[in-house]
Structure formats: structure tokens, C-alpha cells
């Protein structure tokens, strides 16, 4: 392609790095894109231009429908903060709130999502630039095929992948290889461990990880990622992890209650509610916001326990929370 690649120096350096390198495309994990979204919108709110920006989004969307695209001119100031040339943002490695993708599209930048695993080296699906679908992880890439294993009544099941980029196997671990790769009708299919569904156009939607699923005593499946996306929309929450916790009131220890482990966004809380708040006051603020989220959830998915955390979550190199490492820690 004759293109050059710049690697960001870290989350704190994202804006200066963008302004220095002036990229046309940004490939990033959701945490970085969410961070950009929050910073840009916080600056817009501080300058009291949020009403104007929202109005111009509606106007430019209406004009675009009739073939007039003036978004780059209207939102020139935002583009300058992102280096001036950005036209595509690709999010991959973890779920992202569709609201953020919609906002990126609203200001005139194509928002694409990719999906894959190390075992598929790594890309398996990608949103086509000519047919973006915010919220979807994309369509199977050329030469690859995706299908859903044993779908439930909602069409959800484990995501299976067939691709020429599929690994030969795990190094010197035949048992793990045979667990992950099954031969179906003479073809090797990789069992991803991800839960999702395909829409009528073949777009893939990931709803959770089979390893993370919380199964209630009544046999209901709850995917933590679905609830985490809703919690990530709360400005007072910096990061969160949802999991099933044994109910102390259940003597059989069979029932699980939905618990949220939350890192407060102290800067936002301080600006909105004042300084020197007690731990109890911070907890009450966040719990009040969680109650609002619970209204959007069916009763068995409602969060019933809140844990406040002030140190960072342990994460992988792709910025995913190491759930099992976190659950070993006492709160």
C-alpha cells in the first residue's frame, strides 16, 4: 500500500501522537477509543458547545441523506484534535458501546469493527467500509467462514470459524488442539469460545464469552459483557467488571447474584458532586446510577451487589480485564 504505521506510545500520549503523526486510519482497542470519546466530549461540554455539536450532527446527517456531506468542514475542530486527516477508526479485541461507534460516524469518520483471535492469525471478521453496521463485529473475511454452533431460540451459540489462517494447533498440546479444533464434514472448524449470532446479512454480533457466562439456578444465561457495556455509559464509572457471586443468603451456595466491581471516575465525580467525598458518598452516587441501569434489565440480570475498587484492574496486552486473576482477589 505504500503506507506507514505509527505505534501509539500509550493511553496518555494518544492525542499528541495523533497530532504529530496525522494518521488517516486508527486501529485500536475499545479502551483507547472510549478514552478519546470521553476526552473530546468533556472538552466540548467545558466549552459549552455540546448543544451546538448535537444540533449540527442532526443537520449534517439530514444533508448526508440527500448526498451533501459537509461533516469534515463542520467538525473541523474535532478533526484537528485527531491530527486532521482521520477518516477510519477500527475497533477490535473487545466489545465497545455502539453509542460510541454511532458518534464517530455522526462526526463523519467511518467506524469499523474487527473480530478474531490469535488462533485465527488473527482476523476472522471485519465490517466492510462500504457497508458499516455499528454494533456488529463484521462479516467473515474473504476465504473465511463463520457459523453458529447449536443456536438457542435467539440464534445465539458458540462462534465457529473456518479459515486458511487458522493455526495448525497449540504447540506440543494435542489435547488442547483437539478440544479447540473439530473436523466437521472433512473441514477444520475452530471453536472460539465466544457466544454470538449472525443476522440475515451474515453480520456477526458477539454477545459474550462462554467461559464468562453466569448461569442462574433457573438455568438462565447472563453474559457479563452485555451489562458491562451499559455500565460503561455511566460517566461516574471509569471501568467495571461484572460477575456472578455466591448469595450469602442461599445456604446451598447454588444461587448467584450479579455483582459489579467498579473503579470510580474520580475526576468526573469531583466536578459534578464536589471534593472530599467520603467512600460511602461515592458508593451511594454510583449505586444510584446502577439502579437506573437495572431498570433497563430483566429482573434476573439486575445488579444486586456493588464493590468499589480504587487500584487498576489486571489486564492483558489487548487491555482486557483478567477476570480470573481479579476474582482471586478479596474485596
What is the per-residue pLDDT across 294-304, written as a single tens digit (0 to 9) for each?
Answer: 999 999 999 99
pLDDT tens digits, one per residue of 66-107:
999 999 999 999 999 999 999 999 998 888 889 999 999 999
What are the DSSP E strand ranges found in 210-255? 214-215, 221-222, 237-246
Farthest CA pair distance, the chain: 65
Mean pLDDT of the chain: 92
Give the predicted TM-score (pTM) of the model. 0.78
Band of pLDDT at residue 140, cut at 50, 70 and 90:
very high
Question: Which pLDDT score is estimated for 10?
Answer: 81
The three-state secondary structure class of 155 is coil
pLDDT of 305 > 70? The answer is yes
The Cα–Cα gap between 123 and 147 comes to 15
Closest by CA to 229, choosing from 101, 123, 126, is: 101
pLDDT of 196 > 70? The answer is yes
pLDDT tens digits, one per residue of 207-219:
888 888 888 777 7
Sort strands 256-264 and 237-246 into parallel, antiparallel or unpaired: antiparallel
Query: 74: Cβ–Cβ under 8 A, 6 or more apart, which residues?
Result: 56, 59, 60
Question: b vs e for 287-325, b when ≥16 Cβ sit within 10 Å of the residue's Cβ?
Answer: eebbeebbeeeeeebbbeeeebbeeebeeeeebbbebee
The domains of the chain, with CATH numbers, are 11-108 (no CATH), 140-208 (2.30.38.10), 212-327 (3.30.300.30)
Pairs from 275-283 (Cβ < 8 Å, separation ≥ 24): 279/308, 282/308, 283/308
- Rounded mean pLDDT of 124-128? 94
Band of pLDDT at residue 189, cut at 50, 70 and 90:
very high
Amino acid at each position: 500500500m505504500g503506507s506507514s504505521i505509527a505505534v501509539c506510545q500509550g493511553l496518555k500520549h494518544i492525542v499528541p501522537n495523533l497530532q504529530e503523526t496525522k494518521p488517516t486510519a486508527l486501529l485500536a482497542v475499545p479502551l483507547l477509543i472510549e478514552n478519546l470519546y470521553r476526552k473530546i466530549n468533556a472538552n466540548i461540554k467545558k466549552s459549552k458547545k455540546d448543544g451546538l455539536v448535537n444540533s449540527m450532527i442532526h443537520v449534517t446527517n439530514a444533508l448526508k441523506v440527500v448526498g451533501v456531506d459537509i461533516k469534515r468542514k463542520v467538525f473541523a475542530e474535532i478533526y484537528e484534535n485527531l491530527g486532521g486527516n482521520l477518516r477510519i477508526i477500527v475497533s477490535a479485541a473487545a466489545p465497545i458501546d455502539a453509542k460510541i461507534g454511532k458518534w464517530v460516524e455522526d462526526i463523519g469518520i467511518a467506524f469499523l469493527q474487527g473480530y478474531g483471535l490469535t488462533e485465527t492469525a488473527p482476523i476472522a471478521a471485519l465490517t466492510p467500509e462500504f457497508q458499516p453496521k455499528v454494533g456488529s463485529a463484521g462479516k467473515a473475511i474473504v476465504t473465511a467462514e463463520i457459523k453458529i454452533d447449536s443456536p438457542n431460540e435467539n440464534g445465539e451459540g458458540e462462534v465457529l470459524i473456518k479459515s486458511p489462517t487458522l493455526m495448525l494447533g497449540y504447540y506440543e498440546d494435542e489435547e488442547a488442539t483437539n478440544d479447540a479444533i473439530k473436523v466437521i464434514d472433512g473441514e477444520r472448524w475452530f471453536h472460539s469460545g465466544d457466544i454470538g449470532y449472525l443476522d440475515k446479512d451474515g453480520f456477526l454480533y458477539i454477545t459474550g464469552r462462554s467461559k464468562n457466562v453466569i448461569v442462574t439456578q433457573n438455568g438462565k444465561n447472563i453474559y457479563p459483557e452485555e451489562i458491562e457495556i451499559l455500565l460503561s455509559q455511566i460517566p461516574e464509572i471509569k471501568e467495571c467488571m461484572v460477575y456472578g457471586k455466591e448469595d450469602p443468603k442461599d445456604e446451598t451456595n447454588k444461587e448467584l447474584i450479579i455483582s459489579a466491581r467498579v473503579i470510580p471516575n474520580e475526576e468526573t465525580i469531583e466536578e459534578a458532586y464536589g471534593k472530599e467525598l467520603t467512600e460511602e458518598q461515592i458508593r451511594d452516587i454510583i449505586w444510584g446510577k446502577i439502579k437506573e441501569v437495572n431498570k433497563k434489565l430483566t429482573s434476573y440480570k439486575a445488579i444486586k451487589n456493588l464493590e468499589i475498587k480504587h487500584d487498576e484492574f489486571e489486564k492483558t496486552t489487548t487491555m482486557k480485564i483478567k477476570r480470573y486473576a481479579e476474582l482471586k482477589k478479596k474485596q
